[in-house]
Amino acid sequence: MHQRKSKKILIYFFLLILVGSINNNSLNSLKIEKVKNINIFGLDKNDQKMLLYNLKSLDLKNIFFINKINIENIIESNSLVEEYNVVKKYPYTIDINVKKTNFIARINKNGKFFLIGNNGKLSNNNISEIQLPYIFGNPEIKEILQLKKIIDQSNIKYSQIENLYYFKSNRWDLKFNTNIVIKLPEKIEKETLNKISTFLENIKLENKKIVDARIKNQIIILNE
């Protein structure tokens, strides 16, 4: 941050000397070129084009006086972006490095399915062919991200989950691709999920597909 400020000060100082050392006729003929190149790294070609189109709508002037906040607002409004940084390359180039978000599930909102990104944003369902679990119910996005985080910290493999069911009581059921359904308690902890994982590894459920872990320190097998 200190280096960036120092660099800006030197540039402004250079411009001040330059402008102060030329006469009025030279000043009238002085032209500082507009931004010519915006390079975007980390997105697919079509996604790059869309972001580039939105950025060009800003009608960027010369690189010395660009409002970086306006650029950041457009980048952050893109649902595919999880992290990014903007680098000015003088005299007329901007590089934008993007870390694309990973999608973690699909969810139905008002009759339409969306992809949920690890960045907590919703994207159109048709931009990914990745097999993802479906979420039923109406949880807050932050609750989904929190559940995903706890699962990832546990011995349960998220990739084996087919559906996630959210209830108004703030409780979740997990359905695995083996058709086993796990009923989780309201307060979900990594240790609870690890116990469930160990239990499933050491028992054959046969026709009993429901595992109820809602009561603390108990795991109950139920008939379908």
Domain 32-100 - what CATH class?
A: alpha beta
Instruction: Give the residue range(s) of CATH 3.40.50.11690 domains in the chain.
Output: 103-222
Ordered strands of the 181-183 beta sheet: 122-124, 112-117, 103-109, 134-136, 161-167, 171-176, 181-183, 210-212, 220-222
User: Residue 177 forms beta bridges with which residues?
Assistant: none
pLDDT digits (tens, 9 = 90+) for 7-47: 555 555 555 554 454 444 444 444 567 888 899 999 999 99
Q: Tell me, what amino acid is at 214?
A: R
Tokens 């660099």 belong to residue: 7
pLDDT digits (tens, 9 = 90+) for 173-217: 999 998 899 999 999 999 999 999 998 888 777 666 899 999 988
Average pLDDT over residues 81-97: 92
Superfamily grouping for domain 103-222: Cell division protein FtsQ/DivIB (3.40.50.11690)
Instruction: Give the residue range(s) of CATH 3.10.20.310 domains in the chain.
Output: 32-100
